[in-house]
Structure 1
Amino acid sequence: MGSKLLCLCLLAALLGYYIYIPLPEGMTEPWPVMLISAVLRTLAHLAADMLGLMNYMEVMRLFTTVEIVPPTSDENVTVTEAEFNSVPVRLFLPRRAPGGLRRAIVYFHGGGWCMGDAGDYDHMARRFSNELDAVVVSVNYRLAPPHHFPVQFEDVYSVTKFFLQSKVLSQYGVDPARVCVAGDSAGGNLAAAVAQEVRV
């Protein structure tokens, strides 16, 4: 009886350790978040390590590509997809009449260089375009592990150089003195690298 109880206590402690993840204070329902995280981690480890189906990052990419956001225009912003120097981009163009040349944002999504795409940032880019009256170029750079460094940097740098050409800026009605590069997480790293490298 005593050894069974000890084993049960150890099992409960290990399960609690596996399920627990640090979360911000004041979260109203932390346990559902912890349980969902534990299930996703378990599935990822099963597929990656035990079944040998795919590596961990490919499993994570599957989870992040469940929701595909199409390039849909609305009453404020025209959304299209194009290729700049053979790199896919999603363009967000304000519909209202410009009061002159517009500003522009070349945006690089986050995701550790191995997850995410422009569709994941559709709502944010659309809001930037509408509220800032800006042309937004959201870049779908190639992802690891199939594409190794420095491919991601080469893609975003290539798009930025292409967009900064006078004829392209003119085509979209953009002021060359009001173009910025931006990104979050890994995209912020890429934006910093591009900003240091680019010469207008």
Structure 2
Amino acid sequence: MTTDFTPPPSFSIPTERLHISYLQPGNPTHSTFLHHLWNTDEFIKSEGPTGLDTPEKAAKFIATRVQGDYNRNKHGQMLVSLKPHLGASLAESKMIGIVSLMKGEPPNAYTQPDVGYTILPEENGKGYATEAAIGVIDYARRELGVKGVFGFCSSGNARSRRVLEKIGLEFRGERKLTVFGGVQSAIYALPEMDQDLAVYGITD
């Protein structure tokens, strides 16, 4: 039986400029921020509408989908907060995005998670997505036993491809990924991962 994973609200993965922390069910600040982030024009243009068009829907999403990922894997979608100065605490920091390590439920899942990131439009271009992705991957490998990480994006998404390369993933070609409805995607993986992606459940 899966039990709830409930880290303390003060928990964070610190990086030089950021704190990475868990979204908290029942925290209206978190659900309001997620609603805002996923309804910016830039996000909708890139990812399409999520259906989380009210803070209440975002709150329900955090309590069910996000918490479910935490319960299974101890990772999933996590908050990215910007420190106002070196050494600032999580409480002092400003929420600016989401970084994720996502691994779905079998059979609709690969055996290793994929990394993702969304930063507020006004904070883009400052290296925060790269820093957050490196931070969450390092933590997951060190503390959660994650052995491999994928990165998926559309072939024409130059910004995402640059970030994936900066965090140390290597391009492994393009495939129509069944988990994403057969959409043609560029695939990135950690260099030490097997060259045969079928080992992880990725096939055409």
Larger C-alpha radius of gyration, 1 or 2?
A: 1
TM-score by length of 2: 0.34
1 or 2, which has the higher helix percentage? 1
TM-score by length of 1: 0.35
